[in-house]
Amino acid sequence: MSDPITINVNGAARRIQAGPDTPLLYVLRNELGLNGPKFGCGLGQCGACTVHMGDMAIRSCLFPVSAVAQPITTLEGLAVNGKPHPLQQAFIDHQAVQCGYCVNGMIMQAAAFLKEKPGADRGEIVAALDNNLCRCGTHLRILDAVEAVSQLKKVSS
């Protein structure tokens, strides 16, 4: 058994037992019980496993837990004071979820992108989400939801 590693996840220090090469995704799901990030392709190509390390969106299926150098935020950690993050609420309002498998990646990628580029237009949003895959075909609703939040940020800026 490896020596315990401490990482910050969703604002709390968490002591884990996983080996240093264990993918962060496995630690989040199997050891910490956080099921927002999904195992999709295991190759970092679909985006279902996306989490934030600091302000950066990363693919947790490829990221070894020993490389975690900043706080990790998962889909569960986006809510503030029990209220859904604006993107989470927009996905509900725009009925942007069908099977739900891609939602984690779409929201996490969009949140990191909009933090970097508030007020982005639809074309910029399409480009930012280009490497996140959705098999159900809710792309237009997903784009509508992200664009609605982007427009809110444009007004509040």
Extract the residue ranges of the chain whose pLDDT is less than 50: 157
Same domain, 97 and 73: no
Q: Are residues 12 and 73 in the same domain?
A: yes
pLDDT at 135: 84
Give the pLDDT score at 84.
96
Claim to verify: residue 38 and residue 98 sit in the same structural domain: no
Give the global pTM: 0.93
Report CA dihedral (69, 8, 106, 128) to the nearest 10 degrees: -30
Same domain, yes or no, for 65 and 93? Answer: no
CATH code of the domain in which 30 resides: 3.10.20.30
Say if residue 90 is in the same domain as residue 57: no
Whether residues 25 and 73 share a domain: the answer is yes
Query: Final residue of a domain: which of 13, 44, 77?
Result: 77
Which pairs count as long-range contacts for 29-35, CB under 8 Å and 24+ apart, including other chains?
34/9, 34/10, 34/74, 34/76
If asked whether residues 63 and 91 sit together in one domain, one would say: no
pLDDT of residue 155: 55
117 and 146 inside one domain: yes
Q: Structural domain tally of the chain?
A: 2
Pair 90, 145 in one domain: yes
SS (HEC) of the chain: CCCCEEEEECCEEEEECCCCCCEHHHHHHHHCCCCCCCCCCCCCCCCCCEEEECCEEEECCCCEHHHCCCCEECHHHCCECCECCHHHHHHHHCCCCCCCCCHHHHHHHHHHHHHHCCCCCHHHHHHHCCCCCCCCCCHHHHHHHHHHHHHHHHHHC
The residue range of the domain holding 71 is 5-77
Tell me which of 53, 77, 101 is where a domain ends: 77
pLDDT value of residue 30: 97
Statement to judge: residues 100 and 149 lie in one domain: yes
The tens digit of pLDDT for each residue in 101-115 reads 899 999 999 999 999
